[in-house]
Amino acid sequence: MTELHHQTLSELRAGLRARRFSSVELTKHYLARIERFDSQLNAFITVTAESAVRAAEAADRELETSNAPALTGIPLVHKDIFCTDGVLTTCGSKMLSNFIAPYDATVVERLARAGVVTLGKANMDEFAMGSSNETSFYGPVKNPWDLKKVPGGSSGGSAAAVAARLTPAATGTDTGGSIRQPAALTGLTGLKPTYGRVSRYGMIAFASSLDQAGTLTLTAEDAALLMSAMAGFDARDSTSVDVPVPDYLSALDQPLSGLKIGLLKEFFEKGLDEQSAKLVREALSLYERLGAKLIEVSLPNLPLSVPTYYVVAPAECSSNLSRFDGVRFGHRCDNPSDLLDLYRRSRGEGFGPEVKRRIMTGTYVLSAGYYDAYYLRAQKVRRLIADDFARAFSNVDVLMGPTSPTPAFDIGAKVDDPITMYLNDIYTIGANLAGLPAMSIPCGFAGELPVGLQIIGPHFSEAKLLNVAHGYQRETQWHRRIPKGFI
């Protein structure tokens, strides 16, 4: 039998249904790999071994019946931004290092209802602010393809855990590329759904108009399985959209002949690594051989996405993080002399440098005299970027280009240069500003490091994106490669 951790989520699901192995055997296999390898990666903040085995035992009993839910017995890891009832939920921050969530986020709740077994909570950039998973209070996560490299962020712990086969799948969140960029840097399939497609209830907010929950998996088929459980309207989330959820699995095998692909002109201009550009173009050529048509598309306002994002996102983070004040929950300083001292020291001790930087930036752009000059203007540019995408989708079915300007970079290489770090999200931010679904799939290797192809679609076109990604993965094996030290 193929090693359990070499199998995709879909293959493991079939194996459980055929009773080739039990959920307890599968869960213990992954827990043993976590114990063996995570000291190298630092991908986990919390491992819930005891509750995972209990859940696996219950799953095995459920699998003996004829009506077991779709994901019964499948192990999974949650990014530590999702509230998980009775489990430490830290957001990668000292501020929440003692916070035990009193309820489940909707994503956690729905996946549990579908039968998953939670292995633990994955490390992440503090409050999802970062592009390299170096801002976590719990230390940086290492990329399993090269332990000297970053895995990308902010969902770097989720990505590293899946890439090293410590879990078959993980949840993540994407505010400006935080699922797609780590997926590209670790050789995974990362899906950011349309804003409002997956509930944000119980997902600790960074930038409320941008944050979206999604998946990190080996394949598009695996992502379709998870999305079938996660997607759908939630009355508890005011940003949730009440539209029907399609059958993502049944759409996977639709032919790609006649597909119109928009080649994003701006993505292939200065700044893109030469080897990454070559691999992305080779992937596009494969789509042509499958019957798709390439059409060059220009989004003239897209180069403004980074400065626009770094006004809008810090402004919203400044508002959202004001609740962490040392009064109700989270870190509280010792022996405050008065209320002002409590606020100052609790926040000063609880937040790391990157979070402080963004709070101060956001507070500035929202302040009297600067709101119109910065925040309001950024929102107007955001509208222009969304209009560019809308015009493009009147002529093409999907847009494609690189996910990241370069493969994974060295840990520490950009941590002292925030602007250079922010530019790592230059290709991903536009989809968040426009609320569009987007995903990254592996399309080759630059040396030993993975490179990602990004696919962007119109609102609520996740089924089409998964179909397009699945068609490519049926013809290639990049998603099957495993980092050498973790085989």
Q: Of the residues 79, 142, 192, 414, which is catalytic? A: 79
Token code pair at residue 29: 């296999």
- Give me the residues paired with residue 452 across strands: 442
22 catalytic? Reply is no
- Give me the residues paired with residue 170 across strands: 77, 216
Contact 293, 259 (CB under 8 A): yes
How far is residue 7's CA from residue 4's CA, in Å, rounded to a whole number?
6
Q: Of the residues 178, 276, 440, 461, which is catalytic? A: 178
Phi and psi at residue 19, to the nearest 5°: 60, 30
461 catalytic? Reply is no
166 Cβ contact partners less than 8 Å away, ≥ 6 residues apart:
5, 30, 33, 34, 37, 38, 41, 43, 44, 77, 119
Token code pair at residue 273: 């690594």
Token code pair at residue 38: 């995570």
79 catalytic? Reply is yes
Q: 23-41 and 9-17 are packed helices; what angle lies between their axes, rounded to 10 degrees? A: 150
Token code pair at residue 448: 């030993």
How many CB atoms are located within 10 Å of the residue 487 CB?
A: 11
How many CB atoms are located within 10 Å of the residue 179 CB?
A: 34
How far is residue 217's CA from residue 171's CA, in Å, rounded to a whole number?
9
Q: Of the residues 10, 136, 154, 199, which is catalytic? A: 154
Q: Which of 245, 167, 155, 161 is nearest to 199 (CA)?
A: 245
First-to-last C-alpha distance (Å) of the chain: 15
Contact 198, 223 (CB under 8 A): no
Q: What are the catalytic residues? A: 79, 154, 178
